[in-house]
Amino acid sequence: MLRLLVRLLLVMFLIAMVPVVLVLLSDITVEQFAKDKVFDDVQQLPVNKVGVLLGTNKHMSNGNINRYYRYRIDAAVELYRSGKVSFILASGDNSIVGYDEPEMMRQDLIARGVPDERIFLDYAGFRTLDSVVRAQKIFGQEKVTFISQQFHNERAVFIANNKGMSAVGYNARGVNLRSGIKVVVRERFARVKMMLDLLLGKQPKFLGEPVQIA
């Protein structure tokens, strides 16, 4: 009886460890792949025609500006001013009436001096996978620079490589661990889901007609 109980507990332990192993493997795989493809120093960053600015909510639940958003705008403006990108593709969520991430990004980029004609909007960037695949299939880009925080860029670069694209990431300023712990935890599970999506050949929710960036 004791031996059977021990075996049962061992099986339960092994089953419980499966999600932990998946999270660790996904995290390590993405991080190692992207370590030479994401940059903190704008001077080391290669030049690409298009920078894909990955969207997030501009405001937090308390009404304050989301620092993840603010720092991504800062990074996009820096890339444009430094000549590292010629166009910015603002990709985000526009699935709810009154909520328009791409348009918010466009307005803030223009306010910071980026010409309107240098900004293109992807209204169907509901997820990172959607933003990456649509940059390739809808906006015709095979070489891009992703603009977001490091953890997000790593995942975007990994997806892009899986789709045959050549991609790098420019890391926007991060948020301290205490303020961003929920995002850090969520990212670990997002990487597992990404692996499953790639394995299953998940496609964007919407595609549509091609748009030429020029």
Q: Kindly state whether residue 157 falls inside one of the protein's structural domains.
A: yes
Q: Which residue has the higher pLDDT, 6 or 52?
A: 52
Q: Which domain holds residue 69?
A: 31-200
DSSP at 171? E
CB distance 200 to 35 below 8 Å: no
Evaluate if residue 13 carries a pLDDT over 60: no
Rounded to whole angstroms, how far apart are CA atoms 55 and 101? 6
Q: Is residue 15 part of a domain?
A: no
Q: What does the pLDDT read at residue 167? A: 97
Interval 4-11 mean pLDDT: 63
More confident residue, 27 or 64: 64
Structurally, the chain folds into a number of domains equal to 1
Does residue 126 belong to any structural domain of this protein? Answer: yes
Confidence of residue 17 (pLDDT cuts 50, 70, 90): low
Read off the pLDDT band of 14 (50, 70, 90). Answer: low
Tokens found for residue 179: 């303020």
Other beta carbons within 10 Å of 197: 16
Give a yes or no: residue 2 inside a domain. Answer: no
Q: Residue 145 pLDDT more than 80?
A: yes
**Does 67 map to a domain?**
yes
Residue type at position 5: L
Distance of CA 137 to the CA centre of its chain: 17
Instruction: Dump pLDDT digits (tens) for 147-194.
Output: 999 999 999 999 999 999 999 999 999 987 666 678 888 888 899 899
Can you read off the two tokens belonging to residue 20? 């932990």
CATH code assigned at 64: 3.40.50.620
User: What is the phi-psi region of residue 51: left when phi exceeds 0, alpha when psi lies from -120 to 50, beta otherwise?
Assistant: beta
pLDDT band at 72 (very low <50, low <70, confident <90, very high): very high
What is the DSSP secondary structure assignment for residue 118, as one 8-state letter? Answer: G
Q: What's the whole-model pTM score?
A: 0.87
Highest mean pLDDT among 16-20, 32-36, 71-75, 175-179: 71-75
- Whether residue 80 lies inside any domain: the answer is yes
According to the model, what pLDDT value does residue 180 have? 67
Is position 112 within any domain? yes
> Residue with structure tokens 């909510």?
57
Q: How many CA atoms lie within 13 A of 7 on its CB side?
A: 4
Q: What is the pLDDT of residue 96?
A: 82
Q: Which residue has the higher pLDDT, 135 or 178?
A: 135
Does some domain include residue 5? no
Query: In the beta sheet, which residues pair with residue 133?
Result: none
